[in-house]
Amino acid sequence: MDIEPPISKRTTGQLLDIVETAQEWRPEVLELAKKELVARGVPVKTQEARWKIRTKCNERVKRAKERASYTNVEKLLIVLTGPILIFLLKDFFMFYAGAGYKKKNRQGWFYLLLGFCLWAMILYWYLKFEND
């Protein structure tokens, strides 16, 4: 089995990362990493504890991302200045918070659309009353 770099050449920290992110590795690579860690004096209990800590941390981060949302002031600023900033900076993904921020991303698009509608109405009223 070709693993680059070989398991024996990796640092203990790299091997612990392999064990902590087990779902990203092939089972045979994971087993080799565990055996190498035991050979280097890192007990299986320590490996399992680190994996549990990493898993719990990832779950907390995921929940925090799912709950994240814009504040009322940020929403107001997106409505008022978002469309203008998008036209000036030519960046349509300016209010994309990133992967995992579903609620915040939906809010960004909604308030941005609301801002476009507001500015379209203002422009319409301005042009309508300008001609009268």
Give the pLDDT of residue 109: 94
Given a contact cutoff of 8 angstroms between Cβ atoms, the answer to whether 25 and 7 are in contact is no
Give the pLDDT of residue 132: 67
Give the pLDDT of residue 116: 96
pLDDT tens profile 50-75:
889 988 999 999 999 999 999 999 99
User: CA angle, corner 132, sides to 121 and 130, nearest 5?
Assistant: 50
The structural domains of the chain, with segments of one domain joined by +, span: 7-66, 69-131
pLDDT tens profile 69-105:
999 999 999 999 999 999 899 888 888 888 899 999 9
Looking at the predicted structure, is the pLDDT value of residue 1 above 60?
no
Residue ranges of the alpha helices (H) in 10-101? 12-20, 27-39, 44-67, 72-89
